[in-house]
């Protein structure tokens, strides 16, 4: 009985090296089809640009960022490769959760901290990551992973800066995780 509960509780994930090879093949497919790699933060940018364009057109026409962005990419910002790809990510993640029975509403956190603390830090982390991804022209997927696959110097710099900074700050926030 006890063993059975343990068995049920244990979340089984795919072998990381096999997962990595498949991830690499997905990235290869993206490059083969579209000539570009994967990405995530770019889709958020496009969504916000589209929203601003719709609900505050005068602001979109005058504020420097939107002006530049709409000149660079005319047409509907939501018609972008990354927006469709990220919709796919939501579907793919959900399907994986269904198959591996991991669909549950929960706040995941170390037993040493409260849910509230976890949620505050998650929001703060998201804000910083969102801002940094725009300044750095792409996040872990678009700049670091996809950039490395094509040996982009910028991609390697992003990768080293992201992980280097993570290691640098890890000590100060260790209570949240270990």
Partner 1 sequence: MGPLAPNEIITENTNLFLAFIVGIGFGFILEQAGFSSSRKLAGVFYGYDMVVLKVFFTGAITAMLGLLFFSLFGWIDLDLVYVNETYLYSAIVGGVIMGLGFILGGFCPGTSFCGAAIGKIDAMLFVVGLFIGVLIFQEGYPLWEGLFKAEYMGTPRVSESLGLSYGLFALMLIVVAVGMFWVAEWAEKKFPREEY
Tell which positions 12-71 bind partner 1, by CB under 8 A.
Answer: 13-14, 16-17, 19-41, 44-45, 47-49, 52, 63-66
* Residue number with CB closer to partner 1 (57 or 169): 169
User: Shortest Cβ distance from residue 152 to partner 1 (Å)?
Assistant: 4
Q: Which of 61, 73, 170, 175 binds partner 1 (CB under 8 A)?
A: 170
Tell which positions 75-94 bind partner 1, by CB under 8 A.
Answer: 79, 81-82, 84-94
Tell which positions 1-20 bind partner 1, by CB under 8 A.
Answer: 9-11, 13-14, 16-17, 19-20
Q: Calculate the CA dihedral of residues 155, 156, 159, 162 and round it to 10 degrees.
A: -100
Identify the burial level of 2 via C-beta atoms within 10 angstroms of its C-beta, where 0-12 means exposed, 13-18 middle and 19 or more buried: exposed
Size of the site for partner 1 (CB under 8 A): 124
Residue 128: how many other CB atoms lie within 10 Å? 10
Tell which positions 96-155 bind partner 1, by CB under 8 A.
Answer: 96-97, 100, 102-110, 118-119, 121-155
DSSP annotation of 5 = H
CA distance readout (Å), 128 to 71, 125, 168: 27, 5, 16
* Residue number with CB closer to partner 1 (61 or 100): 100
Q: Calculate the CA dihedral of residues 34, 38, 158, 170 and round it to 10 degrees.
A: 180
């Amino acid at each position: 009985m006890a063993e059975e509960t343990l068995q049920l509780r244990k979340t089984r994930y795919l072998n990381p090296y096999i997962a990595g090879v498949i991830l690499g093949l997905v990235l290869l497919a993206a490059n083969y089809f579209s000539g570009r790699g994967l990405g995530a933060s770019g889709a958020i940018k496009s969504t916000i640009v589209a929203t601003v364009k719709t609900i505050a057109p005068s602001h979109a026409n005058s504020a420097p960022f939107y002006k530049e962005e709409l000149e660079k990419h005319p047409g509907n910002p939501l018609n972008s490769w990354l927006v469709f790809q990220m919709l796919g990510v939501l579907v793919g993640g959900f399907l994986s959760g269904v198959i591996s029975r991991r669909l549950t509403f929960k706040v995941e956190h170390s037993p040493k901290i409260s849910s509230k603390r976890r949620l505050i830090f998650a929001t703060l982390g998201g804000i910083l990551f969102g801002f940094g991804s725009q300044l750095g022209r792409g996040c872990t997927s678009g700049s670091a992973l996809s950039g490395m696959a094509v040996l982009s110097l910028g991609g390697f710099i992003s990768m080293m800066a992201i992980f280097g900074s993570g290691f640098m700050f890890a000590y100060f926030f260790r209570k949240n995780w270990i």
